[in-house]
Amino acid sequence: MIPVHGFEDKRVGVLGLGRSGLSAARALKEGGAVPVCWDDNPDARAKAEAEGFEIAELARGQVMDGLSWLVVSPGIPHLYPTPNPVIRAAWGAGVPVDNDIGLFFRALSHAGWEEFDTIPRVVAVTGSNGKSTTSALIHHILTHANRASQLAGNIGRGVLDIDPPEDGGVVVLELSSYQTDLARSLTPDIAVFTNLSPDHLDRHGGPGGYFAAKRRLFAEGGPDRAIIGVDEDEGQFMVNQLVDVPSDDRVIRVSSGQKLTGPGWMVFARKGFLSEWRKGRQVGSIDLRDIRGLPGAHNHQNACAAYAACRCLGLAPRVIEAAFASFEGLPHRSQLIAEANGVTFVNDSKATNVDSAAKALLAFKNIRWVCGGLQKEGGLDGLSEGLANVAKAYVIGREAAGFALQLQGVEAEICTHMDVAVAKAIEEAQPGDVVLLAPAAASFDQYDNFEKRGEAFAAAVRAKLG
């Protein structure tokens, strides 16, 4: 645990008592604060009360007026579509609102590293797609190189649950837009922006607010190094805002699919080969084509971003290349489930939006595509390029018929249920085919989360294959 200091003997509100909320309450208590907790869920309140935390309705005037700070869990809206009543009450009482990410960076400023030979560093990764894989890959490379590393944030452990960083240690954080949007302190040493595609638009008041939430990590965080994916206009804009001169190597441009040029520092992948260029000359190259844990152009972009981060941390290209070879990928993200009778089964349940699903479709050929679910805004037009690789779609979800009608030029069968879709795909698959779950939709119409959906896919495959 990382104790949060600076609130000794002060009452600090904690709104939301899930993983991050309880972790924040414990860290505040460890640092000498008096957490005052609330959650609309009575079971969550009971759990916190069982740990000895004070429970009180924070929106009540006499409670809010006694608070010095309010810490909010990331799932609670603080502005759009409508601010939570407790947050409105905090505004009215002049109580600063923060989250556990802000507390984490605040706590590090009190870490007392004067006697360390090498100050610990924080790498923070954000973006619409690929941030989990990129974060996990950075952590994997560091571990492979025997560098002390911890993975936390939106993946792995809660940020305040990790151990205080040791001499020379690295903390790798995956940060969602919900987390970067509200944190009052954002001071990573290295910040990574993978890409941007429409997502969570209701929570951020539209695409501009969504991008602004991501951009805070760079504009307000002031990292020593910024690694920016430039395959979208937003990335290009951010690079332009951050550089002072064209050769400014505090900013590293990253791309998958285009050769980058110029006098600065860049890492890009084309035709399966990663290249690093600095000051107009190539200084590193890695063949990514046979790395099974990183299939497809979207994962090659993740590899470029992770490579750049590890180069900033002083690792040699060959050390990074060796670590790539042993990376197995993450569950539910282009995860190899099985191979049987010449057919490959891949679980990419995390492909919950059109952009991520399109990238999954472009990573494979001869696809038997399991798709569908709770469709997000914007329709399915963004899938068009990847549909050329689809032999047939097997559509699940309560809105399967409506989803199937949008798949122009692709044979689609309405299956509704996962086990039916998997059984049909296996029955019709030929050697060389890939049965791919890449839903292009949220899971909440049938499953609690994308992990449960991915587990259902894997279970159906294993049950059918025996």
Query: Do 278 and 259 share a structural domain?
Result: yes
Domain range holding 150? 103-325
Query: Do 152 and 281 share a structural domain?
Result: yes
Q: Yes or no: say if 120 and 168 are a contact pair by the CB < 8 Å rule.
A: yes
Which residues sit in the known binding site? Answer: 127-133
Rounded distance between C-alpha atoms, residue 43 and residue 454, angstroms? 27
| pLDDT tens-place string over residues 440-464 | 999 999 999 999 999 999 999 999 9
Query: Do 142 and 214 share a structural domain?
Result: yes
Sequential DSSP letters for 9-70: T-EEEEE--SHHHHHHHHHHHHTT-EEEEE-SSHHHHHHHHHTT-EE--TTSHHHHTT-SEE
Percentage of the chain lying above the pLDDT 70 cut: 100
pTM: 0.87
Query: Do 56 and 139 share a structural domain?
Result: no
Strands 170-174 and 251-256: unpaired
Kindly tell me if the per-residue pLDDT of 378 is higher than 80: no
Query: Do 454 and 360 share a structural domain?
Result: yes
Query: Do 283 and 196 share a structural domain?
Result: yes
Split into its structural domains, the chain has a count of 3
What's the confidence (pLDDT) of residue 121? 96
CATH number, domain with residue 434: 3.90.190.20
Q: Is residue 120, in this structure, part of any structural domain at all?
A: yes
Rounded distance between C-alpha atoms, residue 421 and residue 369, angstroms? 9
Q: Is residue 280, in this structure, part of any structural domain at all?
A: yes
Q: Is residue 6, in this structure, part of any structural domain at all?
A: no
| pLDDT tens-place string over residues 38-72 | 999 999 999 999 999 999 999 988 999 999 999 99
| pLDDT tens-place string over residues 87-125 | 999 999 999 999 999 999 999 877 778 789 999 999 999
Which residues sit in the known binding site for ATP? Answer: 127-133
Task: Give me the residue label for tokens 């539910």.
Answer: 332
Boundary (domain end) residue, out of 33, 63, 98: 98
Residue 177, CA distances (Å) to 53, 189, 213, 432 in order: 29, 19, 5, 39
Boundary (domain end) residue, out of 325, 354, 382: 325
